[in-house]
Amino acid sequence: MNARHARVLAALTEARAVLDRFMSDPQQLERVVYAAEIMANALRHDKKIISCGNGGSMSDAMHFAEELSGRFRNDRPAYAAIALSDPAFLSCVANDYGYEQVFARGVAALGQRGDVLLAISTSGNSANVLRAAEAARAKNIKVIALTGKEGGALAALADVALQVPHLGFADRIQEIHIKIIHCLIEEIEERMQND
**Number of domains within the chain:** 1
Nearest-5° angle of CA 87, CA 91, CA 95?
175
Domain that holds residue 152: 3-193
What does the pLDDT look like over 148-181, one tens digit per residue?
Answer: 988 999 999 999 999 999 888 999 999 999 999 9
Compute how many other C-beta atoms are within 10 angstroms of the C-beta atom of residue 24.
10
User: CA distances (Å), 183 to each of 9, 34, 45, 118, 190, in order?
Assistant: 26, 12, 21, 14, 11
Q: For residues 59 and 122, give the distance between their C-alpha atoms in angstroms, rounded to a whole number.
A: 13
Q: What is the pLDDT of residues 22-65, one digit of tens each?
A: 999 999 999 999 999 999 999 999 999 999 999 999 999 999 99
**Mean pLDDT, rounded, of the chain:** 95
Domain harbouring 63, CATH code: 3.40.50.10490
Per-residue pLDDT, 172: 94
